[in-house]
Amino acid sequence: MNKVIGTAVSRTDGLAKVTGKATYTGEQQIPGLVYGYLVTSAIAKGRIRSISTEAAQKAPGVIAVITHKNAPKVFKPTNNFITSKIYEARLPLSDEQVHYGGQIIGLVVADTFERARDAAQLLQVEYDIETPLVNSAKATYKAANSMFGEEMAFRKGEFSSGTGVTEPATIEATYTTSTELHVPMEPHAIIAHWQEDALTIYEPSQWVAGIQRTYAELFGIPSEKVRIVTPYIGGAFGSKVYPWPHSILCAAVARQIQRPLKVVVSRRQMTANTGHRSETEQTVKLTATKDGKLDAIVHTAKSVTSPVDMFPEPCTNITPVMYAAPNMQVNQTVATLNVGTPTFMRAPGETPGMWAMESAMDELAWKLNLDPVELRLKNETTTHLRKNLPFSSKHFADCLKEGAKRFGWQNRPRQPRTLTRDGKLIGWGMAAATYPALRGNATVKVRLLPDGRVNVLTSANDMGTGTYTLIAIMTAETLGVSVDKVSVEIGDSLFPDGGLAGGSQMTASLAPAVQQACQNLLKSGKFTNTKEAIKELQSSGRAAVEATGSSAPSEEGKNWAFQSWGAHFCEVSIDEEIGRLRVTRWVSVMDIGQVMNAKAAASQIRGGVIMGIGEALMEECVFDPNTGQPVVYDLATYHYPSHADIPRIDVTFVGKPDLTFNPLGARGGGEIGITGVAAAVANAVYHATGKRFRNLPIAPDKLMA
Amino acid sequence: MKNFAYVRATSTEDAVQQSQTTQNAQFIAGGTNLVDRLKVFLDRPDRLIDVSRLDLKQIEATKEGGIRIGALATNTAVADHPQIRRDYPLLSRAILSGASQQIRNMATVGGNLLQRTRCPYYYDPVFACNKRQPGSGCPAIPGINRMHAILGASDSCIAVHPSDMCVALAALDAVVEVESTKGRRQIPFNDFHRLPGDAPERDTNLEPGDLITAVILPPVSFAKTGIYLKLRDRASYSFALISVAAAIDLSGESIRDARLALGGVAHKPWRSIEAETFLKGKPATVETFQQAAEIALQGAKPLDHNGFKVNMAKRAIKRALTISAQGGGVA
């Protein structure tokens, strides 16, 4: 059998998806299903003085009208990252207070979606309005701990006595990013179905076993009484890990009315209720010797959170990881605005952090008249400077060198505004990429049938990124069967706990578990290979042979830091007079250890690059300064890249397995692709125009100013 | 729930008659804007009269040498029509720069004329809006107005007209043919859409029951040099920050005639007759085009966030006129 790992395998769920046979949450057919429509706040701060539901209750088909006055009670879950978690600590409809525009203030349930939506318009709400704060410039910032409650500030070296560098080169600059919305193709949706005291939840979730525990805690029932079903997810990006307020409300109301209930969050409602990436403001100060050795890095970051939960965007995670400097200081603060609760969005922290750091490194390179690739090579660190641990496997230099070669970087003129084509300014830029390598616990069950087919079952899920295919590849590889003999069933809490799809860890957690299960299967019958097992099944008349396998993070984490690396190179073409910018070329080289599926991994990186180009050039949610309501709230007003905005993206991998990290040497590739992208674009814009853009997005009006 | 009647018109006369039976009737053809508005309760018609099956799809040459486009011709059909591509390339390019292929396949010419602003304050009922509810106020004026009007706005409304096609039609001196119970009449394109004034709820000068039956383009000998330049926040599928439809008729080195219209700047497609008049007889130089741009933007009143549009419009005009003077093409 040929090696399957690392080859380009088309997604095994592709046909089901393009033919509409893949059933997403909103499409699940449940007999007796009724429909809930969310009522949201028309003010951004204050309290509900009165809410009149009479007209809605009398509307045809209406089954229930729920507000804070009659909301069913739920228990407060443990709300930590280990056992169970909800996105927003305030439980939905818990009181009459309004903390942000679009906050959920009610739910209308009817026998059809249209009737529920129509009746929702009939609620009459009177508010005591307070002036909302949505302008971060007027906010008060306080020191922030991480989302896990750990201190984020960090310092090493001797700042007070001076760094001792003679004639140091210093740059100090402030970089900002805008509020970025979660706009997965599939809007958030849930169906809650109670049968006696057992709850079935259909909901796109990145963590099936985790939300199973969360729903159990919310309703004070054993986990075994909760079933989570999430076979397909239409994109998640961090916004579909835990229950949001609409999910909790749906499950609670479904129990009260004793009917299966569906709630779909509209695109408009998603703006406030399903998370976003906070705006950020970062200052980076770099001090270096004349020949480009960094002596000091000072990195401070600000982000904002909602009044009802704390989520600081951890921009400074990358600082002790990227470059060696004897002196280092990082600091993070957070302020509260009357906006919805921010959350994880693809490489939370690393994305804005690398925007600032990699822009600053480019500015330093220009100041020193050094090639930015060379500056990075000069300052590579072999250890994680905060953990004081060596990196298990680092091929960052290979990424830089290979990327430069593929791009033709050696031909780059060392002067801005020198390259032109068809009357347009051409600029070349580069930036580094990085993301930590995580893995968690995962268990899978493998079953071999007499006809040679293999079933694999696990609660792990596929956000659209390739888990189905990964499992098939790993099974095919270990059992020596072809990929099309493997059928994979995932996203159901009835199956063994497949872990969390977040922090780029699904592949790293799951692949070793699949391998283990397959090996256990052969071991269980003392089979030397799968053919022998099939022969035995056929001759004995047994229905199947099955085994489970698990994997967990190893003890090596005490000795090593695990991190992925990469480099982006890009070209922009700018029609300066009219503010028109096009990204015309892109090269990414990534060191993510062993690549499991060449096709899916490259797609992941491309997706990250595309999302990063969106952040660089167009993504921006803006709030009305007077009412505090967003004026960017749908796919027409929130711009992300269209096909026409994206050039061919050339992705290659270093491909060296990180065997200290896990038995396959595979680190995840879901998030690293977006890191550094915005800086690479802005650096290219500088090369083209001689203008440094430090505030994202670099929209046409800014470009032609 | 608010129900509405749905009827399918059997003829133009039938459609017009049907619209008289209730105060709150609306025609529907492609539905690419109306259905969106129905879903968010912006429109609450009692009766929807489906005109999409009427015999108004033809695109045919007129004996004057122009072209008559039936109101139900799809945007795709117009953009792809050989004579339009040959004689009015700016119209074809304007259409293709708007929406998506799927929307253009559904959207009709008549509907394109009647699409409403995409001002986010208008579309979301958490905000007051004079266009949605006359007299309630305009929060965009003290609010976020990056996308809003710099010309012809009023204290009651600063919304812009979203159409690309209409900017080209304005430049081409199109005429809108309308049928009503009183018979058939023609409205010059520049008189079709309205400035907001103190009645921003009215986008056009159509009367209730008026049905657009065709758009007629007169022959414009130099329309072949016409171009459509659209500047926006991404390469495709977004509304214009600024767009320019322009055409130059050269006689040697000097300008015999010119057309200039702007999109993204006003409540209606903004034809600049003043700039056109200025251009006539002048040498076709960058300086001339610069001056024309200054004239076209005279009277611009930028707001807190859209000041860039003045400069962007001037530069886009200069660019569009320059390319047109070179014989046209893609801008």
Q: What is the pLDDT of residues A40-75, one digit of tens each?
A: 999 999 999 999 999 999 999 999 999 999 999 999
A555 at B interface, C-beta within 8 A: no
Identify the DSSP state of A468: H
Which residues numbered 612-641 in A keep a CB inside 8 Å of some CB on B? 617-618, 622-627, 629, 631-634, 636-637, 639-641
Query: pLDDT tens digits for A205-239?
Result: 999 999 999 999 999 999 999 999 999 999 999 99
Considering the domain architecture, whether residues A264 and A287 belong to the same structural domain is answered as: no
Whether residue A166 has pLDDT greater than 80: no
Spot the catalytic one: A279, A313, A571, A671.
A671
| Å between A376 CA and nearest CA of chain B | 32
Whether residue A82 has pLDDT greater than 90: no
Mean pLDDT, residues B33-62 taken together:
96
Dihedral sign for Cα atoms in the order A606, A611, A613, A614: positive
Considering the domain architecture, whether residues A628 and A580 belong to the same structural domain is answered as: yes
Considering the domain architecture, whether residues A698 and A643 belong to the same structural domain is answered as: yes
pLDDT confidence of residue A80: 87
B121/A622 Cβ within 8 A: no
User: Of A518, A552, A586, which marks where a domain is finished?
Assistant: A552
Provide CB contacts within 8 A for A563, sequence distance 6+. A321, A384, A391, A394, A434, A435, A436, A437
Considering the domain architecture, whether residues A427 and A452 belong to the same structural domain is answered as: no
SS3 A469: helix
Within a domain: A692: yes
Query: Which one of B123, B230, B233, B303 would you mutate to disrupt binding with A, by most A Cβ within 10 Å of its Cβ?
Result: B233
- Rounded Cα distance, A270 and A247, in Å: 13
Nearest residue in A to B144, CA atom: A624
- Rounded Cα distance, B320 and B228, in Å: 7
Nearest residue in A to B143, CA atom: A624
Q: Point out which residues pair with A427 in neighbouring strands.
A: A572
- CATH number of the domain encompassing residue A522: 3.30.365.10
B139/A627 Cβ within 8 A: yes
pLDDT confidence of residue B331: 85
Measured CA to CA in angstroms, residue A464 lies from A11, A29, B53 at distances of 9, 22, 41
Mean pLDDT, residues B57-70 taken together:
97
Considering the domain architecture, whether residues A79 and A196 belong to the same structural domain is answered as: yes
pLDDT confidence of residue A545: 97
One-character DSSP codes across B259-291: EEEEESSSSS-EE-HHHHHHHTTSB-SHHHHHH
Which residues numbered 96-135 in B keep a CB inside 8 Å of some CB on A? 118, 120-121, 123-127
Domain ranges of chain B: 5-53, 224-325
Within a domain: A165: no
Query: pLDDT tens digits for A623-648?
Result: 999 999 999 999 999 999 999 999 99
pLDDT confidence of residue A168: 86
B231 at A interface, C-beta within 8 A: yes
pLDDT confidence of residue A2: 63
Within a domain: A63: yes
pLDDT confidence of residue A148: 84
B137 at A interface, C-beta within 8 A: no
ipTM above 0.90, yes or no: yes
Tokens of A705: 């100013």
Mean pLDDT, residues B188-192 taken together:
98
Mean pLDDT, residues A406-427 taken together:
97
A700/B231 Cβ within 8 A: yes
Q: Looking at beta carbons, which residues of chain B come within 8 Å of A61?
A: 1
Considering the domain architecture, whether residues A197 and A51 belong to the same structural domain is answered as: yes
CA torsion, points B252, B258, B263, B267, in degrees to nearest 10? Answer: 170
Query: pLDDT tens digits for A302-355?
Result: 999 999 999 999 999 999 999 999 999 999 999 999 999 999 999 999 999 999
A179 at B interface, C-beta within 8 A: no
pLDDT confidence of residue A147: 83
Range of the domain at A86: 32-131+185-235+240-273
Q: Looking at beta carbons, which residues of chain B come within 8 Å of A616?
A: none
Whether residue A187 has pLDDT greater than 90: yes
Cα–Cα nearest to A326, from A370, A287, A365, A371? A287
Within a domain: A175: no
Q: Looking at beta carbons, which residues of chain A come within 8 Å of B144?
A: 622-625, 631
pLDDT confidence of residue B329: 87
Domain B5-53 belongs to what topology? Answer: 3.30.43
Q: Looking at beta carbons, which residues of chain B come within 8 Å of A579?
A: 231, 312
A626/B1 Cβ within 8 A: no
User: Of A552, A571, A604, which marks where a domain is finished?
Assistant: A552
Measured CA to CA in angstroms, residue B121 lies from A131, A140, B158, B266 at distances of 19, 29, 11, 16
| Å between A540 CA and nearest CA of chain B | 58
- Angle ∠(B83,B79,B326) on CA atoms, nearest 5: 70
Average pLDDT, chain B: 97
Task: Spell B135-169 as b/e; 16+ CB within 10 A means b.
Answer: eeebbbbebbbbbbbbbbbbebbbbbbbbbbbbbb
A671 is an active site residue: yes
- Count CA atoms closer than 13 A to A487's CA, side-chain side: 8
A501 at B interface, C-beta within 8 A: no
Query: pLDDT tens digits for A265-287?
Result: 999 999 999 999 999 999 999 99
- Pairing state between β A280-288 and A276-277: unpaired
Q: Which of A115, A636, A644 sits opposite B235 (nearest CB)?
A: A644
B139/A699 Cβ within 8 A: no
Identify the DSSP state of B98: S
Confidence of residue A163 (pLDDT cuts 50, 70, 90): low
Percent of chain A with pLDDT over 70: 99
User: Of A552, A570, A593, which marks where a domain is finished?
Assistant: A552
Task: Spell A599-626 as b/e; 16+ CB within 10 A means b.
Answer: ebbbbbbbbbbbbbbbbbbbbbbbbbee
Measured CA to CA in angstroms, residue A599 lies from A72, A592, A595, A660 at distances of 47, 14, 9, 25
CA torsion, points A595, A599, A602, A608, in degrees to nearest 10? Answer: -110
Mean pLDDT, residues A486-507 taken together:
97
Tokens of A238: 């961090």
Q: Which of A159-173, A367-381, B44-58, B117-131 has the lowest mean pLDDT?
A: A159-173
- Rounded Cα distance, A508 and A163, in Å: 41
Cα–Cα nearest to A278, from A179, A354, A350? A179
Spatial contact of A230 and A202, defined as CB atoms under 8 Å apart? yes
Considering the domain architecture, whether residues A635 and A578 belong to the same structural domain is answered as: yes
How many structural domains comprise chain A?
3
Cα–Cα nearest to B91, from B173, B168, B9? B168
Measured CA to CA in angstroms, residue A296 lies from A152, A333, A364, B273 at distances of 18, 21, 12, 61
Which residues numbered 175-204 in B keep a CB inside 8 Å of some CB on A? none
Q: Looking at beta carbons, which residues of chain A come within 8 Å of B237?
A: 642
Confidence of residue A159 (pLDDT cuts 50, 70, 90): low
Cα–Cα nearest to A270, from A184, A147, A179? A184
- Rounded Cα distance, B226 and B172, in Å: 9
Within a domain: A180: no
B232/A700 Cβ within 8 A: yes
Query: pLDDT tens digits for A534-572?
Result: 999 999 999 999 999 999 998 999 999 999 999 999 999
Cα–Cα nearest to B19, from B182, B134, B191, B176? B182
A627/B319 Cβ within 8 A: no
pLDDT confidence of residue A160: 54
pLDDT confidence of residue A651: 98
Provide CB contacts within 8 A for A700, sequence distance 6+. A578, A579, A580, A581, B231, B232, B233, B241, B312
Task: Spell A415-438 as b/e; 16+ CB within 10 A means b.
Answer: ebbebeeeebbbbbbbbbbbbbbb
A631/B121 Cβ within 8 A: yes
Considering the domain architecture, whether residues A459 and A331 belong to the same structural domain is answered as: no
| Å between A618 CA and nearest CA of chain B | 6
- Rounded Cα distance, A517 and A475, in Å: 9
A645/B236 Cβ within 8 A: yes
CA torsion, points A594, A600, A603, A604, in degrees to nearest 10? Answer: -60
Cα–Cα nearest to A670, from A611, A614, A617, A583? A611
Q: What is the identity of the amino acid at A553?
A: P
- Count CA atoms closer than 13 A to A626's CA, side-chain side: 12
Q: Looking at beta carbons, which residues of chain A come within 8 Å of B3?
A: none
Expressed in percent and rounded to 5, the helix, strand and coil fractions of chain A are 30, 25, 45
Residue carrying the six token digits 């028109």: A580
- Rounded Cα distance, B146 and B143, in Å: 9
- Rounded Cα distance, B193 and A584, in Å: 39
Domain B224-325 belongs to what topology? Answer: Enolase-like; domain 1 (3.30.390)
Whether residue A685 has pLDDT greater than 70: yes
- Rounded Cα distance, A531 and A416, in Å: 64
Dihedral sign for Cα atoms in the order B34, B35, B39, B45: positive
A644/B236 Cβ within 8 A: yes
- Rounded Cα distance, A446 and A451, in Å: 15
Mean pLDDT, residues B103-115 taken together:
98
Average pLDDT, chain A: 96
A59/B126 Cβ within 8 A: no
Within a domain: A583: yes
A633/B120 Cβ within 8 A: yes
Considering the domain architecture, whether residues A227 and A191 belong to the same structural domain is answered as: yes
Cα–Cα nearest to B250, from B225, B271, B229? B225
Nearest residue in B to A125, CA atom: B126
Nearest residue in B to A42, CA atom: B126
B118/A625 Cβ within 8 A: no
- Rounded Cα distance, B312 and A473, in Å: 53
Whether residue A1 has pLDDT greater than 70: no
Q: Looking at beta carbons, which residues of chain B come within 8 Å of A187?
A: none
| Å between B234 CA and nearest CA of chain A | 7
Q: Give the ranges where A131-244 is alpha helix by DSSP (H).
A: 208-219
Considering the domain architecture, whether residues A290 and A307 belong to the same structural domain is answered as: yes
Within a domain: A367: yes
Considering the domain architecture, whether residues A575 and A534 belong to the same structural domain is answered as: no
Considering the domain architecture, whether residues A485 and A610 belong to the same structural domain is answered as: no
Confidence of residue A610 (pLDDT cuts 50, 70, 90): very high
Cα–Cα nearest to A57, from A128, A108, A133? A108
Total H helices, total E strands in chain A: 16, 29
